[in-house]
Amino acid sequence: MELAQHFSQDEAVLKEVALAGLLHDAAKSMRPQALFDYCEQHGIECSDAERESPQTLHPFVGAHMVQQELEIQSLDILNAIRYHTTGRAGMGFVEKIVFIADKIEENTRNPLFIRRTTEHLNFRDPTSLDRTILYLLDSTLTFVMDKRQIIHPRTLEARNDFIRAEKNSKHKEQ
Ligand SMILES: [Fe+2]
Tell me what pLDDT residue 173 has.
77
Tell me what pLDDT residue 154 has.
95
Cα of 122 to ligand 1 centre, how many Å? 25
Cα of 32 to ligand 1 centre, how many Å? 14
CA distance 95 to 101: 10
Best CATH choice for the domain 2-173 from the list 3.90.1150.10, 1.10.3210.10, 1.10.3470.10, 3.40.50.1100: 1.10.3210.10
Q: Say what the pTM is.
A: 0.95
Q: 133-140: which pairs have CB atoms within 8 A and are 24 or more residues apart?
A: 133/87, 133/91, 133/96, 133/99, 133/100, 133/158, 133/162, 134/159, 134/162, 134/163, 134/166, 136/87, 136/99, 136/100, 136/103, 137/87, 137/162, 139/113
pLDDT tens across 65-77, in order? 999 999 999 999 9
* Ligand 1 (single-atom ion) residues, CB below 5 Å: 25
CA distance 78 to 83: 9
pLDDT tens across 114-168, in order? 999 999 999 999 999 999 999 999 999 999 999 999 999 999 999 999 999 988 8
pLDDT tens across 36-62, in order? 999 999 999 999 989 988 889 999 999
pLDDT tens across 5-21, in order? 999 999 999 999 999 99
Q: Which residues contact 39 (CB under 8 A, 6 or more apart)?
A: 45, 46, 57, 60, 61
**Per-domain residue ranges for the chain?**
2-173
Cα of 105 to ligand 1 centre, how many Å? 11
Cα of 82 to ligand 1 centre, how many Å? 9
